[in-house]
Amino acid sequence: MRRVTIYDTMSREARVFAPIAPPRVGLYVCGLTPYAPAHVGHGRTFVVFDVVVRALRHWGYRVFSVQNVTNLDDKLIARAAEEDDDPLQLAERNFAAFRRSMTELGVTSVDYYPFATDYVPEILQQVRMLVDRGYAYVADDGSVYFEVAKFPAYGRLSGQKLSQLQPGARVEVDARKRAPEDFVIWKAAVPGEPSWESPWGPGRPGWHIEDTAMTGRLLGARYDLHGGGADLIFPHHESEIALSESATGEAPMVNYWIHVAFVIFQGEKMSKSIGNVLDLQAAIEGVGPGALRFYYLNAHYRSPLDLVPDRSLAEAREAYDRLAQPARRIEEILARDGAERSGDPIPAELAAASDELIDRLDDAMADDFNSREAIALLFGWTRRLGELLEGLDHLSGDGLTALAEPYRWAQEVLGLFVERAAGDARELERVVPVLIAARSRARARGDYAEADRIREELGAAGIRLEDGAAGTRWSLADPH
RNA sequence: GCCGAGGUGGCAGAAUGGUUAAUGCGACGGACUGCAGAUCCGUUUCCUGGGGGUUCGAUUCCCUCCCUCGGCUCCA
């Protein structure tokens, strides 16, 4: 199996990936709290993990990928109250929209999206365990808190020293706590809000324990990979470690921590609470899912990605279209004639170069998922094929397939060029050439008014014509 | 204050103890075209925050300073 290195936030270095029970790999990604529609920043994180899973599977690992949904929390309750709505239904709706966006973006690798409220028994069991073992205490109102002082390793993931934290820096200190760093794992019910019965009275789960209850159930006390946005390192992931390792007595909970850097927008992290957000679905519709996905993968996942308004996404679209150009033309021919079509062979050195390139692409990805490096290599291939482009029609099916291999690799591992497989142009393939032929006759006799009329009317119908040396080619005007 | 990640050309963004520091966008020039667009080709040799140090050689390693972003119990 290919040697893969992964940067681990805990050890702060890239380490060779060694799963607990290869070829199986367990991955848990902290997903969305769907109190509002997802934005472009969220999209980055989930596309990155999609590629992580695709790459590992490509190399033969059998990955079980879980991405949780915090479908009940303070913000959901507050937002639902504003809109006179039910928090669980609000979460359901926003999550459904999120799933549609993910599907469009080609995020297909997640095996299971567990909802927090479906794991209340597991959560209660873990709370009870923590209370019994003396790691957690019950406050007067029936809330249960984890006592951070009982877990000396607290702060290791983030490098924080408890003595240096500033209690109340952003969130007010809760008077029910014994120490400001303690955090709630079971919240006493407020009348009118969703709640469940518990040994400490009605209540609902705290944030951090949802994840540890789910991972304990789905992935076990110890598993391979855990990821999320970089803003989750502290306190969320720090607290997960404390809860899980205290409750199970097993450590480390996770062998590799993967954190994705932010999308920077208008000089700050894109964030719902700041309000500088670009709606995810709007971006998908505006620039196309393939181009957006390209934009995300065009930087290393650990580097902040600076989104320049009205520029970055348009630039990604240009670059993506150019990168995909040979792939589109090759696949068009293969789709039309089949891989068995006869024609000229490609030069032997080009076939060898295709194989070698794929090896280098795998190397780039195996180096801490360096998708930017892989894309640079793919551009080299596109440029190399540029001169061949007009003569593609003379090549054999075998030759064309060899030329397509690096793009097919990108389709599988990076999830790019997926729109190619859409194939909703079947009927058009019979009709459009007839119209093009009519236009060509008009051009041949110098009737440009008629030629332009046909081009314009097809354009209005979403079909773009381009005249070139090899004749007129057509495409869907917005081939996202 | 403390912790973390960063500062690379007009912009985005990789990499590396050593020949010209990727790749893309943009810009400019050319080919193609009835026009347009798209596409292709070429050019874009003065870009590694400041100051020290180690070294034959530093953008890379070390120290220090400055700046930006993020976290310090809402967060992808």
Q: Which of residues 79-138 of A touch strand B (CB under 7 A)?
A: none
Å between CA of A466 and C1' of B13: 32
For chain A residues 298-357, those near strand B by a CB cutoff of 7 A are 298-300, 302-306, 308, 311-312, 315, 318-319, 321-322, 325-326
Q: Give pLDDT tens digits for A386-404.
A: 888 888 888 999 999 999 9
Range with the largest mean pLDDT of A155-164, A180-189, A262-271: A180-189
Report which of residues 3-32 in chain A place their beta carbon less than 7 angstroms from any atom of strand B: 12, 30-32
Q: Three-state SS string across A395-462, please? A: ECHHHHHHHHHHHHHHHHHCCCCHHHHCCCCCCHHHHHHHHHHHHHHHHHCCCHHHHHHHHHHHHHCC
Angle of the A348-366 helix axis to the A40-58 helix axis, nearest 10 = 120
Q: pLDDT tens digit string along A51-67?
A: 999 999 999 999 999 99
Cα Rg of chain A (Å, integer) = 27
Question: pLDDT at position A225, please?
Answer: 96
Q: Is the pLDDT of residue A478 over 60?
A: no
CA of A363 to C1' of B72 (A): 38
What does A257-321 look like in DSSP terms, one character per residue?
Answer: EEEEPPEEETTEE--TTTT---BHHHHHHHH-HHHHHHHHHTS-TTS-EEE-TTTHHHHHHHHHH
Q: Considering Cα of A39, then A44, then A49, then A54, what sign does the dihedral take?
A: positive
Paired residues of A449 in beta bridges:
none
Side-chain-side CA neighbours of A281 within 13 Å: the count stands at 12
Kindly indicate the confidence band of residue A434, based on its pLDDT and cuts at 50, 70 and 90: confident
Could you tell me the distance in Å between the CA of residue A274 and the C1' of nucleotide B44?
40
**Chain B nucleotides reached by a protein CB under 7 Å:** 1-6, 11-15, 22-26, 32-42, 68-76
* Range 152-211, chain A: CB under 7 Å to any strand B atom: 158-162, 164-172, 180-183, 207
* Cross-strand partners of A27: A65, A225
Contact A17, A4 (CB under 8 A): yes
pLDDT at A102 over 60: yes
Is pLDDT at A76 greater than 70 in this prediction? yes
pLDDT 10s digits, A228-257: 999 999 999 999 999 999 999 999 999 999
A291 contacts: CB under 8 Å, gap ≥ 6: A313, A316, A317, A320, A321, A480
Q: Is the pLDDT of residue A418 over 90?
A: no
Residue A339 has pLDDT above 70, yes or no: yes
pLDDT in tens, A439-466: 888 888 888 888 888 888 888 777 888 7
Summarize the confidence of residues A360-369 as an average pLDDT. 94
Is the model's pLDDT at A423 over the cut of 60? no
Q: What is the ipTM of this complex?
A: 0.93
